[in-house]
Amino acid sequence: MADLGTADEVDDSSLDDLLAEADGGTADADHATLMAKARQGTLTTGERASLEGLSTSDEGFTSGTLILYQDSKARKDIASRRRYLDKLLTEPSNGYNPVFLSERAQVAILEADYDEALDRASKAEQHWQRLPSSQVFNRKAQIYAAKAKAWQGKFYQTEDLDALRHAISSWQKYQEHVKRKSRTDLAKQADAQIAKLNDIKRRLE
């Protein structure tokens, strides 16, 4: 896979917050225990099977599928991440959730499906106001990074100069965002991508 940087890996607790929300404000004790294991990618086969058995009509569907998603993310199982997110996004109440949408964009980037990534990241950006204030900075950083990486990936696939220009402007938007919180570590990652892409642009124009 092309080098698209790692700037979307921002610490984020929004999946835990979503679990609590799905459980009515506070995570159910059993769900909290399973989520702690899921963050380590250590759910047992039996635990996964039990959660997999939940249907969309079951009260614990969103919570259970969210735990399965976290487990697959920790295990770096991209196909399972996509499958669980797609299940979550079929629920009308989840379809405009910027957390699920931005996570889906990240999965699409890992699968080099850059049009899908742009679509999901753009929708996440449209609905960022649904985020609690504590999550806005980190999640918007992930959304902006996803758009930048998707445009960059499209350029590498197609050598289209418009995609290159979009990639540069998207990284600049990401850079401006992270600088507001003095995240120089993240800004440096953006610097590296912008410099590389501007050098390519100069050689092609």
- What would the pLDDT profile of 29-47 be if each residue is shown by its tens digit? 888 899 999 999 999 999 9
pLDDT at 17 over 90: no
Q: Please report, as a single letter, which amino acid is at residue 76.
A: K
Query: What proportion of the chain, given as a percentage, has pLDDT over 90?
Result: 76
Over residues 89-93, the mean pLDDT reads 90
User: In this predicted structure, what is the pLDDT of residue 205?
Assistant: 82
DSSP 78: H
Distance, CA of 179 to CA of 159 (rounded, Å): 30
Q: What is the pLDDT of residues 127-182, one digit of tens each?
A: 999 998 888 999 999 999 999 999 999 999 999 999 999 999 999 999 999 999 99
Those residues whose C-beta lies under 8 Å from the C-beta of residue 7, and which sit 6 or more positions away, are 141, 145, 148, 149, 174, 178, 186, 189, 190, 193
What is the reported pLDDT for 9?
Answer: 53
Q: What are 40-69's pLDDT values in tens digits?
A: 999 999 999 999 999 888 888 999 999 999
Q: Using pLDDT thresholds of 50, 70 and 90, give the confidence band for residue 12.
A: low
Specify the pLDDT at position 10. 57
Q: Distance between CA atoms of 39 and 73, rounded to whole angstroms?
A: 8
